[in-house]
């Protein structure tokens, strides 16, 4: 889809804070986060929603989600990590994506750039 923001990011036409990618998925920080470390996992192929995406791609997304959840827990120490996948009107960008939302007991303040540097350094 030519006007899809996530397709533009996959093609390198729009910037992103990419944390990981392979042939199937791209993992990036949300630039308008709901919490510190708000991460998105998107398939590189455009799928609209849960009804459209093949099960093997969902499986890969969930495999990567387990790894990213662990990274968020180790580096950011949230109280929990919530996974959300919206469909229909709740889906702001009409390209399947999984949100990983770290939740904190106390308010945590960090810029997306600071979070990216913390998560992506060894």
- Catalytic residue numbers, as ranges: 97
SS3 25: strand
What are the DSSP E strand ranges found in 1-122?
17-21, 25-29, 39-43, 80-84, 98-103
Task: Compute the radius of gyration of the chain from its Cα atoms.
Answer: 14
Helix, strand, coil % in the chain, rounded to nearest 5: 35, 20, 45
Query: Which of 61, 27, 25, 30 has the alpha carbon at shortest distance from 43?
Result: 25
């Amino acid at each position: 889809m030519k006007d899809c923001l996530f397709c533009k990011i996959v093609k390198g036409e729009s910037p992103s804070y990419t944390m990981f990618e392979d042939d199937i998925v791209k993992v990036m920080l949300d630039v308008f986060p709901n919490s510190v470390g708000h991460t998105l996992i998107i398939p590189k192929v455009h799928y609209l929603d849960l009804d459209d995406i093949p099960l093997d791609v969902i499986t890969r997304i969930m495999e990567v989600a387990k790894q990213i959840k662990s990274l968020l827990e180790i580096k950011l120490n949230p109280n929990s990590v919530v996974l959300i996948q919206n469909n229909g009107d709740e889906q702001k960008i009409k390209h399947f994506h999984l949100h990983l939302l770290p939740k904190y007991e106390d308010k945590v303040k960090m810029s997306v750039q600071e979070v990216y540097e913390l998560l992506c350094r060894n």
